[in-house]
Structure 1
Amino acid sequence: MEALELGPFVLPWVRVQVALALLALVGVAEVLARRVDRRLSPWAYGAVGVGLLGARLGFVLENLGVFAKDPLSVLYVWQGGFDPVWGILTAGGYTLMVLPKRLWRYAGVAALAAGLLAGVLFTRGGAAQETRLPDLTLASLGGTPVRLWDFQGKPLVLNTWATWCPPCRRELPMMVRVSQENPEVRFAFVSQGEGPAVVRGFLEAGRLAPEWVLLDPEGRLSEALGVQGLPTTYFFDREGRLVARHLGELSEALLLGYLRALR
């Protein structure tokens, strides 16, 4: 399972995992606060807040060159971009500062509960079988048939999008620019459920000229890859094996991280 669908909302599974794990930490801490020491309750909320802040700031520092181009993008947390190691370290440091030593073991119990739940959810949500690039033939914007298998031989970033999708519209200019700056990786932007006139008009209005724009009016690629929401971006290696996928809007820092993993 890659995402949790709640009516019209699609939540990436990894975010659901993190949210439930943090809720487990807070829940166990609340129980311990009633039985052991009331200070465990505010500690838990503080540790979660400080940990999330530390995870975000750590990611920003690791990608400072990217965020320096647009400092406001530091606030775009809905795009993702949190380093769990930084989060654990900052939450641990906060724990050592605010709790007396005799309560550290109880904080450890709450953290262990969160970790165990995250592990169980990871096992439940993990994909067991290998996913490969589908053998589909789609049309280019000019009407030329393009076989996806022909993209093998170079790493491939396959982005599923639509002109009516606000996150797609926001991330597309950045992705087109990154594709032009990284010619060693192929980028293909596959429009879902739309015709050439709509797609061409959108690209011309935005002065966007990606090398590969493909049309999938019947959603065959979405069916083959199990797309649960737009945008979804797939990262394939040179042999057409799926290395990673990202549901939702991508930041430039995250995209560059995925590209590094492809090389």
Structure 2
Amino acid sequence: MKAPSFALEDLNSGDIIRLSDFVGKPVMMTFWASWCPDCMKDLPMKEQFYQHADLEKLAFLTINVTGRERSEEAGKDFMIKNNLPFPVLRDNGRKTYDDYGCTGVPTTILLNKDHHIVNVFDDQSSFLDIAKALPSIMI
């Protein structure tokens, strides 16, 4: 299935980031919310991965699902407090989250270089499960 396109604000830079910005590059993206205990376990592992990933070969994005937050600024506050180094995009409420058929947070989605959805990992998936699937999109 072709991944739905999006254009979302990067909370770090204020720039609008589009899926189409990463044409020809596989993408790992994670939907999250600041109140979510499973996200709090997942994001530090994603941060370590981000620090060592070859970002020339893989686009890495996270999307704060503002429509699942307690306040509009909760995701940005969390990002600043925890000094998250990776791109954090602000969802338009739940639009992108819903477009991708997410049912919980965290949800990590792997797209191949043609931006077809190859894998979807829910809150029950481990980071090891995600890491093992990465070679399938790096072809």
TM, length-normalised to structure 1: 0.47
Once the two structures are TM-superposed, the CA of residue 160 in structure 1 deviates from its matched residue by 0.7
Map of 2:98 onto structure 1:
223
1:138 aligns with 2:8: yes
- Supply the distance in 2 between the matched residues of 1:159 and 1:249 (Cα, whole angstroms): 14
Q: Which residue identity does 1:136 align to in structure 2?
A: F
1:240 aligns with 2:115: yes
Task: Give 5+ residue unaligned stretches, structure 2.
Answer: none
1:255 aligns with 2:125: no
1:190 aligns with 2:63: yes
Indicate if the aligned counterparts of 1:168 and 1:249 stay in contact, CA closer than 8 A: no
3-state SS, counterpart of residue 228 of structure 1? coil
Where has structure 1 moved over 3 Å in runs of 4 or more? 194-197
Map of 2:75 onto structure 1:
199
Aligned 1:103-142 pairs, distance under 5 A: 131-141=1-11, 142=13
- Give the structure with the higher percent helix: 1
Task: Give 5+ residue unaligned stretches, structure 1.
Answer: 1-130
- Supply the distance in 1 between the matched residues of 2:51 and 2:59 (Cα, whole angstroms): 9
> % of aligned pairs identical?
27
Map of 1:161 onto structure 2:
32
Deviations 1:169-221 (A, max 9, x none): 111011121122112211110000257742232123223211x2100142111
- Supply the distance in 2 between the matched residues of 1:252 and 1:160 (Cα, whole angstroms): 14
- Supply the distance in 2 between the matched residues of 1:214 and 1:249 (Cα, whole angstroms): 23
Over the aligned positions, Cα root-mean-square deviation in angstroms equals 1.8
Q: Which has the larger radius of gyration?
A: 1
Indicate if the aligned counterparts of 2:3 and 2:115 stay in contact, CA closer than 8 A: yes
3-state SS, counterpart of residue 164 of structure 1? coil
- Supply the distance in 2 between the matched residues of 1:250 and 1:206 (Cα, whole angstroms): 23
Q: Which residue identity does 1:199 align to in structure 2?
A: G
- Supply the distance in 2 between the matched residues of 1:152 and 1:196 (Cα, whole angstroms): 30
